[in-house]
């Protein structure tokens, strides 16, 4: 009998990067419920995970771009770098 809580996941793409003390992993994964973006942050022995279903990825990046643009506009108008 197969468990209703399948954990079979396939990694479709993965990138890792180090930013200051943080180790970040960005993965596009897929399981029986669909595709999702998985962002893992590791720092100081702690791990944080954010999972975004593929149905929300475009909205997530649109909001991300807006926040960055707004922050950059504010920094330029106040003379901050």
Closest CA to 33 of 67, 11, 7: 7
Q: What is the pLDDT of residue 80?
A: 59
Strand order in the sheet with 46-53: 10-19, 22-31, 34-43, 46-53
78: pLDDT strictly greater than 80: no
Question: Residue ranges per domain, the chain?
Answer: 11-78
**In angstroms, rounded to a whole number, what is the distance separating the alpha carbons of residues 46 and 25?**
14
CA angle 67, 70, 76 (to 5 degrees): 140
In the chain, where does DSSP find H-type helix? 57-78
**For 11-78, CATH number?**
3.10.450.700
Which tens digits make up the pLDDT trace of 8-60? 999 999 999 999 999 999 999 999 999 999 999 999 999 999 999 999 999 99
81: pLDDT strictly greater than 60: no
Q: What is the pLDDT of residue 79?
A: 64
């Amino acid at each position: 009998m197969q468990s209703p809580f399948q954990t079979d996941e396939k990694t479709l793409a993965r990138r890792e990067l180090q930013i200051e003390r943080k180790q970040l992993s960005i993965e596009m994964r897929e399981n029986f419920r669909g595709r999702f973006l998985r962002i893992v942050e590791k720092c100081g022995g702690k791990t944080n995970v954010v999972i975004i279903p593929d149905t929300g990825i475009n909205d997530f990046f649109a909001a991300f771009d807006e926040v960055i643009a707004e922050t950059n506009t504010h920094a330029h108008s106040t003379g901050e770098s």
